[in-house]
């Protein structure tokens, strides 16, 4: 079948978790094309240069300088709704021009058509809000569920029982299907340690740059051999090495896996795709730093911390050497038992 995969462009996580979906679709003989925007589009063009690509409107999310993220996002809602409308109109044009039969949308509400089978990929069937935002969160979840109605299937990238995503993905909706942990990485292998610390920077601005500055300051106070991957996917890649600290803008999947396996400690955001990648590699010695004000990342970091799996710390409280010492005392992801559910999900798309 002709399948169009369309990931959201808020950071790179939606694109990276679509990598195994695209790989499995191709493996099972489907003809795959991709539609996205910004860094997500560029990342998939690097991973799959042989595929056909289409550019969708970008959501251009702007994050807050402080922890007051939700008010900032609410003020951008008109821009987001406009992007959803535009991508839906463009999607109908692509479906007609390319004879698309199936759309796999990773959290793009407008990427569906009345002429196709429509699949929505999300680990957030229910958004989790805290404090003042809890009442309004119920209204947002109602809007969220309404906008998933055009999709015949909802694919949840987790294992049955919502082992990694917790209450975010627990749902009684009849069309939900667990598809396993979606990681672009292969099974882990034994690698010789090359770095004391790998810092993975990710997410929208300005918080991406804020996190980068904080981590550079923290590592400058140590004698660690460090690799910093800055999460910037562009046509021109800038690499820099000073003393014991190496910086790269971006690493392709194979090289990033190698860097993770060759590093004693990992520091990263608690974005869900990053967690799935670390779980695939059965990593321990991980420090999570959730994006300030982002409820999903704070929730995920808290549940992993409370399960004694992974240590987490607020961005404004980082004390790198002490937090890495604490991180070494947590169990890590070695106990998670994966199931290959994606193969069965892809095999059923023509039913």
pLDDT digits 0-9 by tens, 148-167: 999 999 999 999 887 889 88
Q: Predicted confidence band at 199 (pLDDT cuts at 50, 70, 90)?
A: very high
* CA–CA distance, 94 with 90 (Å, rounded to integer): 6
Strands laid side by side in the 2-7 sheet: 52-55, 31-36, 2-7, 102-106, 117-121, 153-156, 176-178
Other CB atoms within 10 Å distance of the CB of residue 305 = 16
In angstroms, the first-to-last Cα distance of the chain is 11
Q: Domain boundaries in the chain? A: 2-181+340-347, 195-327
Distances (CA, A) of 30 to 17, 57, 177: 18, 26, 20
Judge whether residue 304 has pLDDT over 50.
yes
pTM for the complete prediction? Answer: 0.88
Strand, helix or coil for residue 273? helix
* CA–CA distance, 342 with 84 (Å, rounded to integer): 27
Domain 195-327 class in CATH: alpha beta
Task: For the chain, state the CA radius of gyration.
Answer: 20
Please state, rounded to an integer, the average pLDDT across all residues of the chain: 90
Q: Predicted confidence band at 132 (pLDDT cuts at 50, 70, 90)?
A: very low
Strand, helix or coil for residue 190? coil
| pLDDT confidence of residue 80 | 86
CATH classification code of 2-181+340-347: 3.40.50.2000
Question: Over the stretch 18-75, which tens digit does the pLDDT of each residue have?
Answer: 999 999 999 999 999 999 999 999 999 999 999 999 999 988 777 766 666 667 767 8
Fold matches, 2-181+340-347 and 195-327: yes
């Amino acid at each position: 079948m002709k399948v169009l995969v369309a990931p959201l462009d808020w950071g790179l996580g939606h694109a990276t978790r679509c990598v195994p979906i695209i790989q499995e679709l191709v493996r099972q003989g489907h003809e795959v094309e991709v539609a996205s925007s910004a860094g997500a589009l560029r990342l998939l063009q690097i991973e799959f240069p042989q595929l056909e690509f289409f550019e969708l409107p970008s959501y251009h999310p702007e994050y807050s300088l402080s922890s007051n993220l939700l008010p900032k996002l609410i003020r951008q809602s008109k821009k987001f709704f406009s992007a959803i409308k535009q991508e839906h109109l463009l999607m109908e044009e692509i479906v007609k021009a390319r004879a698309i039969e199936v759309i796999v949308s990773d959290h793009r509400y407008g990427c569906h058509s009345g002429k196709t089978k429509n699949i929505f990929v999300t680990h957030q069937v229910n958004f989790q809000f805290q404090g003042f935002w809890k009442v309004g969160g119920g209204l947002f979840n109602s809007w969220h569920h309404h906008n998933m109605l055009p999709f015949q299937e909802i694919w949840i990238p987790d294992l049955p029982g919502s082992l990694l995503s917790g209450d975010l993905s627990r749902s009684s909706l009849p069309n939900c299907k667990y598809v396993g942990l979606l990681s672009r990485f292969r099974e882990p292998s034994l690698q010789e340690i090359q770095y004391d610390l790998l810092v993975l920077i990710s997410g929208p601005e300005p918080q991406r740059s804020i996190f980068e500055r904080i981590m550079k300051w923290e590592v400058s106070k140590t004698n660690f051999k460090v690799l910093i991957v800055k999460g910037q996917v562009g046509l021109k890649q800038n690499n820099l090495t000073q003393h014991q600290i190496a910086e790269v803008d971006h690493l392709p999947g194979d090289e990033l896996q190698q860097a993770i396996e060759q590093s004693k400690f990992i520091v990263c955001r608690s974005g869900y795709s990053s967690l799935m990648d670390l779980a695939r590699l059965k990593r321990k010695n991980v420090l999570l730093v959730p994006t300030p004000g982002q409820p999903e990342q704070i929730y995920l970091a808290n549940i992993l911390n409370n399960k004694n799996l992974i240590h987490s710390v607020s961005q404004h409280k980082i004390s790198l050497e002490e937090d890495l010492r604490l991180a070494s005392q947590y169990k890590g992801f070695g106990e998670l038992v994966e199931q290959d559910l994606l193969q069965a999900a892809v095999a059923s798309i023509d039913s």
